[in-house]
Amino acid sequence: MLKTISVTQENTCLSLCDRYQQVRQLSQQLCQPLATEDYAIQSMPDVSPPKWHLAHTTWFFETFLLVPYLKGYELFHPKFGYLFNSYYEAVGERHPRAQRGLLSRPTVAEVYQYRDYVDAGMRSLMLEISGNSDLESLITLGLHHEQQHQELLLTDIKHILGMNPLRPAYLQNPLSAISKFPENREKWLDYPGGLQAIGHQNREFAFDNESPRHQVYLQDYYLASRLVTNGEYLEFIEAGGYNKPEYWLAEGWTTIQAEKWFAPFYWEKIDGVWWIMTLYGMQPLNENEPVCHVSFYEADAYASFRGLRLPTEVEWEVAASSVPIKGNFVETGRLHPTVASGVTRPDQMFGDVWEWTQSAYLPYPGFEVADGAIGEYNGKFMCNQMVLRGGSCATSINHIRSTYRNFFPPSARWQFTGIRLAKY
């Protein structure tokens, strides 16, 4: 069983070295339930093998910190830069993304040795650079980068196991042991329009795509008090929603026809009963839980079915800016969305599932790409992607904030993605 992790937003007061150790240990803890055979599987091109995630996050610290800044540092292996570079053109050539699952070597043991080697180097470097704000900021970026990959670890592990006909469980404690919540009616929360400011305010860490802070004009609008549930989405399915093109964007309709989608990802109908694949194995569908693993196309079609719409990312951020960052995050140990119903705060906005918005992922006014390889982190992906907000049950609580802009292609479904509705 994965232990509940005692991490809160107050962990920002930890020393950089302590925070480094905490984040690095969590990556390895998330891999503890795996068998050795699980570490090397790549179940589709967008999924990376678990050992690749462990090595890539280590390569980040080695490449951007140890090599340029730790005197006398020697590479752990001269070919690891080629194997574990993800998309940084400025750093050099890399192994093809879709072929990461073909790498039987390095072994899992060697990847863990690599992590230990780099961690030792980082401890030395952090002792040397105490008070160097620029390098400390770069280390902090590396830690948030690793937290992003921790979330990808969980979603990729789920896909790897979900594509196995045995439907094996990542963790053995059943979801039936997790408290369920009674049905909670959807309410509409009203928000005034007018001139609003969004974006990072430079008070804490944020990614470059969250800046600069700027003003936008909004109409008065409403957001649903909670996420759309499995039961509500089931009504869309039973009403023939996947067979009615009038609900779908043209590209969405083409996609569901080509992919033969008929329900959210991981849903299976067995002997007339809906089941869902979870990190705890196959479970009966709980109609009061948030619907999850839907694409932007499906979220938009469901909103059309209801005669409503998805919120813009601006509407979402304005509504979330005054809401406490509380919810079901990875630290709870409940690696499944569970609290769409029975929410004690009607405007709960964080955790459980990433919420699709109707906003394309584009630069904010005045956005500038940083110099060098680090400038490739976000900016070059601002095309053909949609923005998601709020974090999920696989996100760390001290990694998320109201300004955080996640982004995925509109067809992506293997992430913990769900729906909140909006209207004018």
DSSP labels for 156-190? HHHHHHHTSTT---SS-S-GGGSPP-------EEE
- Tell me the two tokens of residue 264: 């959210």
Please give the pLDDT value at position 1: 43
- Tell me the range of 143-157, 163-177, 187-201 where mean pLDDT is highest: 143-157
| Band of pLDDT at residue 347, cut at 50, 70 and 90 | low
pLDDT digits (tens, 9 = 90+) for 212-238: 999 999 999 999 999 999 999 999 999
pTM equals 0.93
Interaxial angle between packed helices 133-162 and 50-61, expressed in degrees from 0 to 180 and rounded to the nearest 10: 170
β-bridge mates for residue 215, sequence order: 197
Q: Is the dihedral of CA 290, 295, 300, 305 positive or negative?
A: negative
**Angle (CA) 171 172 174, round 5°:** 110
Average pLDDT score over the chain? 91
> Cα–Cα distance between 320 and 378 in angstroms, integer?
23
> Cα–Cα distance between 406 and 227 in angstroms, integer?
18
Please give the pLDDT value at position 374: 72
Residue 198 three-state SS: strand
Please give the pLDDT value at position 291: 97
Average pLDDT over residues 172-201: 79
Average pLDDT over residues 147-167: 98
- Own/partner contacts of 89-94, CB < 8 Å, gap of 24 or more, are 89/373, 89/376, 90/372, 90/373, 90/376, 91/63, 91/373
Say whether pLDDT at 86 is over 80.
Answer: yes
Give CA torsion, residues 281, 285, 291, 297, to 10 deg: 90
| Band of pLDDT at residue 91, cut at 50, 70 and 90 | confident
74 CB-near residues (< 8 Å, 6+ apart): none
pLDDT digits (tens, 9 = 90+) for 376-414: 677 788 899 999 999 999 999 999 999 999 999 999 999
> Cα–Cα distance between 306 and 232 in angstroms, integer?
10
Say whether pLDDT at 342 is over 50.
Answer: no
Please give the pLDDT value at position 171: 95
> Cα–Cα distance between 242 and 236 in angstroms, integer?
8
Please give the pLDDT value at position 377: 73
Quote the DSSP letter at residue 134. H
Count CB-CB contacts under 10 A for residue 389.
25
Residue 317 three-state SS: helix
The kind and range of the H/E element at 194 are: strand 194-198
Residue 406 three-state SS: strand
